Structures are given as C-alpha cells and as structure tokens.
Amino acid sequence: MGDLVLLETEIRPVMTQLIEGGLEVTAVHNHLLRATPATFYLHVGGHGDPLKLATAIHDALAVSKTPLVVSPAAASAAIDLDTAQLDQIIGVKGQNNGGVYAFAVPRRDPVSEGGMEISPAGPMGLAQGINFQPTGGGKAAITGDFALTSDEVNPVIKALLTNGIEVTAVHSHMLDEQPRLFFLHFWANDDALKLARGLRAALDKTASGKS
C-alpha cells in the first residue's frame, strides 16, 4: 500500500496502468492546498508476489514524469530547530529525513485489513505522520496526516484550528480496514515549538502514543 504523487494529467494513464497490473486504486485526492503545480495523491493497494507488484508500480510510474533513476542519497541537512524540545512535546523521538524533522506516532489500537494486522504502522502509513521543515528564526513549516477513527476527526480539527494549524484535507486512504480510518492532513508555518504544542493537543484527542 502507499500513494503516488501525480500531476492532474498523469492520473488517468497511471491509474490505467495500475489496474492492468493487477493493483487496486483505493483513493485519489489532494493532500495540500495552493500547491504549484497542483498535485494529487493516488493511493494503491495490492497483495501477492512482490516482484509482480513492484513491476506493476514501476510500469505505472513510467507513464508519469516521476524520475525512475535512483540518485545517490544526499547527506541529511542540519535541522535548525530545537529537536530535543520537539521530541519532548510530541512524545516520541523524531528523525532527520533529508533536513525535515519527521515523527511517526503510532496508534495504540491495531489496524487490520483482510483479517491481517497492518504492521509496522509507520512504514505502512498508519502512524500519525508529522513533519517539521525549518523556515528560519525558530519557525517551521509543518505538514503530515493523522490517521483517525470517526469519533476523533472533529475533536482533532478543533484542536488544530484552535492552535493556528490549517486542515487541508479529510478523507480515506484504504477500502476495508478495521477500524475504519480517516486521514486528516494539515499545514502551518509558524514558531516550531508553538506548532508542536498545537499538534500535541491534537494527538491528545486520539488513541496515539503512550496511554
């Protein structure tokens, strides 16, 4: 499972190639507002021989402008933020992901699909994904998504809006997961510690992190 980031004109040919390759399309939508150029996220699911699945994904990406040549991994850029404070506020240890300070906060409840638990939650897209990109002077642009049960959606929206964090999308990413999850995407650019406290307030409305 996962998602492909596409331009509008790439959606139909990529979707067609995915279906022909035996994969499922589970969602198509935006994650961001005001992006230039506009980007759309095509979510996919599949189960079977890993080489066949990989080939289907490769063939689908080949009809887009996604680069398929692997470039040497760049050294992680320094992060001009108080990461120790961010760790303390969010409640888990973040990671430097190419100059972006990234958190994956797992839900306490297991999530299954087709009768099988989806694990590990972070790499499979089921953790609360939170990313801080430094923008100077202790500020950061934040984006990511919360994986929420239906009763958590509006309490999280209220917590984010109260703390100056914009909600950019709410939707599903999968077809038959249990419990049913909704993915809420967010954006802000402000003092990093202030935003972290706002995100912590939202996390406190969810079954995430330490009980």
The pair of three-digit structure tokens given for residue 137, joined into one six-digit string = 């002077």
Smallest Cα–Cα separation from 26: which of 201, 178, 194, 173? 173
The secondary structure of 164-195 as a DSSP string is T-EEEEEE-S-SSEES--EEEEEEEEEEHHHH
pTM: 0.90
Beta strands 24-29 and 2-6 are unpaired
pLDDT, block means (10 residues), the chain with 211 residues: 95 97 96 94 95 96 90 70 97 93 91 83 81 97 96 97 98 92 97 98 86 42
